[in-house]
């Protein structure tokens, strides 16, 4: 019944993802700033896989659901979703993903540093890898496929770089989100082509930042800025090098299926 208010229909619950994600702390902030906490709204912690499976079920039955959503992600390709308007601008308008390295990498591994510095792709590039992985392709294979299909882009990143000959070890840390699985695997493959002995290790977001700050890892590609990873950017300032944007035009917010025609703004959750 579209006239019935939304809260009771979905138990005043926003379906979220892993607790460590930036989008979860931003959503906690949104709940407070929009006065939703006072109205008993809550954010449910789960995982991306659990959230998208709950979303899939809701959409099959055309039931209402509010999720923590972001782009680029295959959820926006697979389902008709819309971001809720955010008049208080809690999530920020749009975000870029940055490449972050440990201090001293430029001197220690100039070839890897140059590659990391040049690595840049579009949401559509990233989506091509994500969709393969979502379809069941192993991430390493999906990364290799993308590299094979995009030799011109890869050649721009590696222009003038000679493969190293001493098989230096390099380690990238990442959070196992679809977007970062895609970027980290692609960069890892290109570093391998450049002769590096590459390790990638998945962990939560805070340990990813800590690993680079303590030089336990060499680089990470998970920095959604200025908002989503903003807390860690501030906390670890001075203990990493920001190589700038590797993807432009990401977006984070609350999202609902487009059939929820009367819910268009976060403020509509109060109705
Ligand atoms: N995300 C996807 C991450 C960044 C990448 C939006 C789930 C987050 O920190 O919330």
Q: How much is the CA Rg of the chain, to the nearest whole Å?
A: 20
Which atom of ligand 1 approaches the CA of 22 most closely?
9
Residue nearest to atom 9 of ligand 1 (CA): 22
Tell me how far apart the alpha carbons of residues 126 and 246 are, in angstroms, rounded to a whole number: 11
The predicted structure's pLDDT at residue 2: 52
CA 86 to centroid of chain Cα atoms: 20
Tell me how far apart the alpha carbons of residues 219 and 184 are, in angstroms, rounded to a whole number: 10
Q: Where in the chain is the domain with CATH 3.40.190.100?
A: 6-92+252-270
Q: How far is the CA of 28 from the centre of ligand 1 (A)?
A: 14
Q: How far is the CA of 130 from the centre of ligand 1 (A)?
A: 14
pTM summary value: 0.94
Q: How far is the CA of 92 from the centre of ligand 1 (A)?
A: 13
Lookup: tokens for 250: 């990401």
Residue nearest to atom 2 of ligand 1 (CA): 177
Task: State yes or no: cis peptide before 72, omega within 30 of 0.
Answer: yes
Q: How far is the CA of 24 from the centre of ligand 1 (A)?
A: 8
Tell me how far apart the alpha carbons of residues 88 and 100 are, in angstroms, rounded to a whole number: 29
| Superfamily for the 95-250 domain | Dipeptide-binding Protein; Domain 3 (3.10.105.10)
Fold of 6-92+252-270: D-Maltodextrin-Binding Protein; domain 2 (3.40.190)
User: ipTM above 0.90?
Assistant: yes
Lookup: tokens for 46: 């789960």
Angle at CA of residue 86, ends 23 and 247, nearest 5°: 50
Backbone angles phi, psi at 194, to 5 degrees: -85, 10
Q: Where in the chain is the domain with CATH 3.10.105.10?
A: 95-250
69 Cβ below 6 A of ligand 1: no
Which atom of ligand 1 approaches the CA of 18 most closely?
7
The DSSP string of 3-45 is: TS-HHHHTTTEEE---TTSHHHHHHHHHHHHTTTTTTT-EEE-
Q: How far is the CA of 94 from the centre of ligand 1 (A)?
A: 13
79, 257 contact by CB (below 8 A) = yes
30, 265 contact by CB (below 8 A) = no
271 residues of the chain, pLDDT tens digit each: 556 799 999 999 999 999 999 999 999 999 999 999 999 999 999 999 999 999 999 999 999 999 999 999 999 999 999 999 999 999 999 999 999 999 999 999 999 999 999 999 999 999 999 999 999 999 999 999 999 999 999 999 999 999 999 989 999 999 999 999 999 999 999 999 999 999 999 999 999 999 999 999 999 999 999 999 999 999 999 999 999 999 999 999 999 999 999 999 999 999 9
23 Cβ below 6 A of ligand 1: yes
Phi-psi region of 249 (alpha: psi -120 to 50; beta: other; left: phi over 0): left
The predicted structure's pLDDT at residue 4: 77
Q: How far is the CA of 167 from the centre of ligand 1 (A)?
A: 32
Ligand 1 pocket: which of 14, 21, 24, 96 to mutate (most atoms within 8 A of CB): 21
């Amino acid at each position: 019944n579209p006239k019935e208010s939304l809260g009771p229909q979905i138990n005043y619950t926003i379906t979220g993802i892993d607790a460590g994600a930036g989008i979860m702390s931003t959503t906690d902030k949104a709940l407070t700033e929009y006065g939703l906490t006072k109205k008993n709204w809550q954010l449910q912690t789960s995982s991306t896989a659990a959230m998208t499976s709950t979303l899939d079920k809701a959409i099959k039955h055309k039931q209402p659901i509010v999720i923590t959503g972001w782009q680029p992600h295959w959820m926006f390709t697979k389902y008709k979703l819309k971001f809720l308007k955010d008049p208080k601008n809690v999530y920020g308008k749009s975000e870029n993903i940055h490449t972050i390295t440990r201090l001293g990498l430029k001197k220690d591994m100039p070839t890897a540093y140059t590659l990391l510095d040049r690595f840049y792709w579009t949401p559509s590039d990233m989506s091509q890898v994500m969709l393969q992985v979502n379809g069941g392709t192993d991430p390493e294979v999906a990364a290799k496929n993308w590299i094979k299909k995009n030799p011109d882009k890869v050649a721009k990143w590696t222009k003038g770089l000679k493969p190293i000959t001493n098989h230096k070890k390099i380690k990238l840390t990442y959070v196992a989100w679809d977007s970062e699985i895609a970027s980290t695997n692609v960069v890892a493959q290109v570093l391998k082509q450049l002769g590096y002995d590459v390790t990638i290790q998945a962990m939560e977001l805070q340990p990813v930042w800590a690993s680079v700050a303590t030089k336990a890892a060499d680089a990470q590609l998970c920095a959604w800025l200025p908002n989503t990873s903003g807390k860690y950017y501030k906390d670890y300032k001075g203990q990493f090098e920001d190589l700038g944007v590797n993807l432009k035009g990401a977006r984070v917010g609350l999202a609902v299926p487009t059939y929820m025609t009367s819910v268009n703004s976060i403020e509509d959750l109060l109705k």
